[in-house]
Amino acid sequence: MKGNPPGSLPARIVDLFGELRMPLFRYLVVGLGSAEEAEDVTQECFLRLCRYLQQGGEVSNERLWLFHVAHNLLLDHKKSGRVQREVMPPDWEVFASTHADKTPDQEQLLLAREKYEGLRAALSELTEQQREVLRLREEGLGYREIAEVLSMNVPVVAAHIRRALAKMKVKLHG
Amino acid sequence: MANEINSTAQGTHFDEAQLMMYVDGELSAAEMEPLKAHLLACADCRQSYTDIEEANRAYREFQGQWSATLAAPPHQWAGFEQKLNQTLAEGEVLPLPIAARRPWGVLREFLGATILSRTLPRALPWALSGVAAALALVFLFLHSPNQQTLTVAQVLTHVEQANASRDAAVAQVVYQKIRITDSAAPQSPVTVELWSDRQHGRFREAAVNSATVHGTSSGAGSTPALLSDLNLALEAYHLQSSELVSVNAFKRWEQSPGRKDESLSEEPLSEGGEAYRLSAKAVDADSAPATPLIRTMEVLVRASDWHVVAERMSVANQSGVHSYEIAELEYRLIPLEHLALFGGQPDAPVSDANEATAIGSSIGDLTVDALYRLDRVDALAQDQIIVTGKGGEVQIGGTVRSESRKAEILAALGSLASNPAVKLNLLSAADAGAVGAAPLTHPLQVQSVAVRLNEAGALPELRAYLAGHQHVPERDLDQAEDRFVTDAIGHSAEAQLHAQALKQIVDAAPQTDADAVSATTREKLHALVVRHAQASRQEIHLLNQQLAPVFSPATTASGVAESGSGTEADQLLSLTTDSDRILWQVFSSNASSADRRGLTDARFWMMLKEEDHLAAHLAENRP
């Protein structure tokens, strides 16, 4: 959006949107199983932030706020049955390649599939929540932030990660 | 092993969780130093650390590669700018009231002591208010842009939605164990177990204990007294004890007449987590009403799953205000098939074990037992409960006036309700309406109906009698006339109700095979018949006594009224119905002058006489 005075609310939202839309989209697309839905919901998160700030709400950590809202919207979608289904780790590559900029190298795709075979199997055995914790961690959220986004305690987050890692360790070492 | 914490030459081993947090940079500098030192010295922990790092790296690569492949979404974020502008424009039209931010402030204050407040002071309300508060906010954004605070109504909606999704699961019985403490006797709380099969409208309750009563158990401290006091208050709002510790009770009471002030607050639960406390208080209420009335009600809703965990209410009656603390001790959903026909719950205490009818009893025994139990709560005369025993089972069905009455009847049936040979089909009036069943068809719901008389002074002989013999002053005549009529119709209706119950009993009783029923059953049957015959006769007598001085014909009635055919009970019912109809005709405001003669007609008096005779006969004879 051009012409917004720097520091104004629209400028702030536009900046945040540019910075955080892809992390949110990645988080949502796996959970929602639909790129279209994820695109919509991602935008909705920012519109809600806008409304909240406009109405005098105070947010110090916007990224956290946005992930939290994204998580809740994901839950809402699940409840309403609108969600397709979570994209399971074995399908990630295929899913990503159908939404890629350029046609991926088939050979590389195959290679990647082979390489992460054990890992994918391990991930598939985790609970949805454990996978969600891992995904958020990869988006750079700390334990405390993950705990806030998912409304759980820090020790629970740690336990999820530990269990996930233990599974992966076993599979990686055959 | 690395994850055993023990002391070695290298110092204390670190467990996997600590190593993982180290890898993830989640440890403080102070925590990190000894770990680092230990890793240098301990090969076991180093191996553990390496494994964790490896797994981490593999995952990071996996997700990283995927992230890199995934491009911008299908519509390349099209339309966002427009939506944002629209949002901004809408926001200007609807400024937020200042008060809207208050609840978050409250939350922040409450959470202020926690460690997170130092790192994330502003995001804090989000942080710990849990899914509940967040969902609520999403809800707010979605549905009520003008009203940013979480309201009582919204919490209620959440609780109901949570209940609905839970109830949508397989047919199940809700089991609750609750503890009720009366503020007047805090040392002797009462524990009650409740089973409600909502799908079939069946409900059971059993008081487990009344704790240790210090000294003598008398008055307010005793279980029955506490429960009956509480039930009396609930009954006034058509509530039943299975609705305690639920939002139903809260809502129903709030909607009852009279203004209520409601409020919402957050508070921590002793078990951890937070809860919403919904409170409502009756405003300007009578502090000592004639019948017990609920004055304040509070429910505590656990925020994590919108479950109601406790309730508090204060009940005012003439002796003052009692307050009850009701806590849910246990809550379970039991699949219906796990309960042998509801109440077959093995650990379900049978409160009336000495009266319980053994499962092997004959249908005749069961039928009479059902009649007997129903009669104890007057369900035969007052409700439309029909008991039929045939085809190897006893059917108990009918429509009752309220949920609480239904509960009362079910409670009276006790263990019988869970007997496999007993089929229950009790509907409350509301259920009946919902399923399109016939509404209450009973013609006799007149106990307290004031009969309106027309302007013309419908019954000159009655007015003359009241003025002449009872010396009622002119200005009070209308009122006295009303009272007279209401009384008369009341007696007639009662006589008819008992006749109806009698017919029920006689019809349902085993007719021929006397050997099939036990001696106890025969005694019960006899007691039932006698009770209703006497009651009916009593009402007929009262009616006669009331009407005779006013309407009795000059010539003494002679002859025998036509009483139709069938058993004596049939005849009695038929006669009481006929005489009741005459009474209505005479007293109703649009009665023609011909109708009004009904009471002075000898036929009416012959009916009363015959009714009395039949009732007396039924009361004297064993069936």
Choose among A42, A50, A89: nearest Cβ to B84.
A50
Q: What percent of chain B has pLDDT over 90?
A: 1
Q: What is the pLDDT of residue B199?
A: 54
Is B167 a residue whose pLDDT tops 60?
no
- DSSP H helices, A33-61, are 35-54
> Which residues in chain A are closer than 8 Å to B71, comparing Cβ atoms?
99-101
pLDDT band of A66, cuts 50, 70, 90: very high
If one compares B359 and B332, the residue with the highest pLDDT of the two is B332
Is B290 a residue whose pLDDT tops 60?
yes
> Which residues in chain B are closer than 8 Å to A38, comparing Cβ atoms?
73
Mutation site for B-interface testing, chosen from A8, A162, A167, A173 by largest number of B Cβ within 10 Å: A162
Q: What is the pLDDT of residue A133?
A: 93
Cβ pair A70, A49 in contact under 8 A? no
Q: Give A133→chain B minimum CA distance, Å.
A: 12
* Mean pLDDT calculated for residue range A84-102: 74
Separation CA A48–CA B231 (nearest Å): 47
B193-202, B264-273, B406-415, B464-473: least confident range: B193-202
Q: What is the pLDDT of residue B217?
A: 33
Separation CA A72–CA B131 (nearest Å): 8
Q: What is the pLDDT of residue A132?
A: 92
Q: Give B55→chain A minimum CA distance, Å.
A: 6
Q: Give B103→chain A minimum CA distance, Å.
A: 12
* Mean pLDDT calculated for residue range B86-107: 48
* Mean pLDDT calculated for residue range B68-83: 84
pLDDT band of B569, cuts 50, 70, 90: confident
> Which residues in chain B are closer than 8 Å to A59, comparing Cβ atoms?
122-123
pLDDT band of B125, cuts 50, 70, 90: very low
Cβ pair B74, A100 in contact under 8 A? no
A19 inside 8 A of chain B by CB? no
> Which residues in chain A are closer than 8 Å to B126, comparing Cβ atoms?
64-65, 68, 148
Is B535 a residue whose pLDDT tops 90?
no
CATH label, B359-442, candidates 3.40.50.11540, 3.30.1340.30, 3.40.190.10, 3.30.2350.10: 3.30.1340.30
A69-73, B167-171, B284-288: least confident range: B167-171
Q: What is the pLDDT of residue B283?
A: 82
Domain B156-338 has CATH 2.50.20: yes
Tens digits of residue pLDDT in A40-52: 999 999 999 998 8
* Mean pLDDT calculated for residue range B20-36: 86
Is B201 a residue whose pLDDT tops 60?
no
A129-133, B54-58, B420-424: least confident range: B420-424
Facing residues of B390 across strands?
B393
The SS3 call for residue B401 is coil
If one compares B280 and B89, the residue with the highest pLDDT of the two is B280
> Which residues in chain A are closer than 8 Å to B54, comparing Cβ atoms?
169, 172
Q: What percent of chain B has pLDDT over 70?
A: 67
Q: Give B91→chain A minimum CA distance, Å.
A: 7
Cβ pair B495, B582 in contact under 8 A? no
Q: What is the pLDDT of residue B431?
A: 60
Choose among B84, B95, B145: nearest Cβ to A1.
B84
Tens digits of residue pLDDT in B454-507: 444 457 778 888 888 878 887 777 777 777 877 787 788 888 888 888 888 888
Q: What is the pLDDT of residue B449?
A: 35
Q: What percent of chain A has pLDDT over 90?
A: 27
Mutation site for A-interface testing, chosen from B27, B65, B69 by largest number of A Cβ within 10 Å: B69
> Which residues in chain B are closer than 8 Å to A134, comparing Cβ atoms?
59, 63
Is B615 a residue whose pLDDT tops 60?
yes
Inspect the interface and report whether the beta carbons of B21 and A72 lie closer than 8 Å: no
Q: What is the pLDDT of residue B565?
A: 67
All structural domains of chain A with their residue ranges? 1-87, 89-174
> Which residues in chain B are closer than 8 Å to A45, comparing Cβ atoms?
none
Q: What is the pLDDT of residue B344?
A: 35
Choose among A26, A47, A60: nearest Cβ to B67.
A26
Displacement of CA B124 from its chain's centroid (Å): 39
- Across A148-162, B441-455, B515-529, the highest mean pLDDT is recorded for A148-162
pLDDT band of B170, cuts 50, 70, 90: very low
Is B78 a residue whose pLDDT tops 80?
yes
Inspect the interface and report whether the beta carbons of A60 and B101 lie closer than 8 Å: no
If one compares B319 and B145, the residue with the highest pLDDT of the two is B319
Tens digits of residue pLDDT in B404-426: 777 778 888 877 877 777 888 87
Please report the residues numbered 91 through 120 in chain A whose beta carbons come closer than 8 angstroms to any beta carbon of chain B: 92-93, 96-97, 99-101, 104, 112, 116, 119-120
Choose among B79, B84, B137: nearest Cβ to A10.
B84
Q: What is the pLDDT of residue B96?
A: 32
Q: Give B123→chain A minimum CA distance, Å.
A: 6
Is B383 a residue whose pLDDT tops 50?
yes
- Across A104-118, B327-341, B468-482, the highest mean pLDDT is recorded for B468-482
Inspect the interface and report whether the beta carbons of A112 and B65 lie closer than 8 Å: yes
Instruction: State the DSSP string of B59-127.
Output: HHHHHHHHHHHB-S-TTTTTTHHHHHHHHHHHHHHSPPPGGGGHHHHHHHHHHTTSTHHHH-TTTHHHH
* Mean pLDDT calculated for residue range B274-296: 83
Q: What is the pLDDT of residue B520?
A: 78
Q: What is the pLDDT of residue B432?
A: 53
Inspect the interface and report whether the beta carbons of A138 and B59 lie closer than 8 Å: yes
Mutation site for A-interface testing, chosen from B19, B53, B80 by largest number of A Cβ within 10 Å: B80
Burial of A111 (0-12, 13-18, 19+ CB in 10 A): exposed
Is A67 a residue whose pLDDT tops 90?
yes
Separation CA B362–CA B274 (nearest Å): 54
ipTM of the complex: 0.89
Please report the residues numbered 54 through 93 in chain A whose beta carbons come closer than 8 angstroms to any beta carbon of chain B: 54-61, 64-65, 68-69, 71-73, 75-76, 79, 89, 92-93
pLDDT band of B211, cuts 50, 70, 90: very low
pLDDT band of B149, cuts 50, 70, 90: low
Is B36 a residue whose pLDDT tops 70?
yes
* Mean pLDDT calculated for residue range B390-415: 78
If one compares B291 and B215, the residue with the highest pLDDT of the two is B291
Q: What is the pLDDT of residue B576?
A: 86
| Fold of domain A1-87 | Rna Polymerase Sigma Factor; Chain: A (1.10.1740)
> Which residues in chain B are closer than 8 Å to A72, comparing Cβ atoms?
131, 134-135, 137-138
Q: What is the pLDDT of residue B400?
A: 74
- Across A85-99, B55-69, B119-133, B192-206, the highest mean pLDDT is recorded for B55-69
| Fold of domain A89-174 | Arc Repressor Mutant, subunit A (1.10.10)
Is B276 a residue whose pLDDT tops 70?
yes
* Mean pLDDT calculated for residue range B263-286: 84
Query: Which residue is closest to A13 within chain B, CA to CA?
Result: B84
> Which residues in chain B are closer than 8 Å to A73, comparing Cβ atoms?
138
pLDDT band of A22, cuts 50, 70, 90: very high
Query: Which residue is closest to A95 within chain B, CA to CA?
Result: B70
Cβ pair B503, B388 in contact under 8 A? no
Choose among B77, B79, B141: nearest Cβ to A48.
B141
Separation CA B437–CA B432 (nearest Å): 5
Cβ pair B347, B177 in contact under 8 A? no
Mean pLDDT of chain B: 71
All structural domains of chain B with their residue ranges? 7-69, 80-150, 156-338, 359-442, 449-623
B570 to A105, B120, B609, B613: CA distances (angstroms)? 93, 81, 16, 14
Task: Work out the end-to-end distance of chain A between its first and last CA atoms, rounded to an integer number of angstroms.
Answer: 52
Separation CA B152–CA B260 (nearest Å): 12
Cβ pair B316, B287 in contact under 8 A? yes
Chains A & B: contacts with CB separation below 8 Å: 182
Q: What is the pLDDT of residue A21?
A: 93
Displacement of CA B74 from its chain's centroid (Å): 52
Q: What is the pLDDT of residue A13?
A: 92
Cβ pair A77, A83 in contact under 8 A? yes
Choose among A50, A116, A166: nearest Cβ to B87.
A50
Q: What is the pLDDT of residue A49?
A: 92
**B488: CB partners within 8 A, 6+ apart:** B543, B546, B547, B583, B587
* Mean pLDDT calculated for residue range B549-574: 71
Q: Give B100→chain A minimum CA distance, Å.
A: 9
Is B444 a residue whose pLDDT tops 50?
no
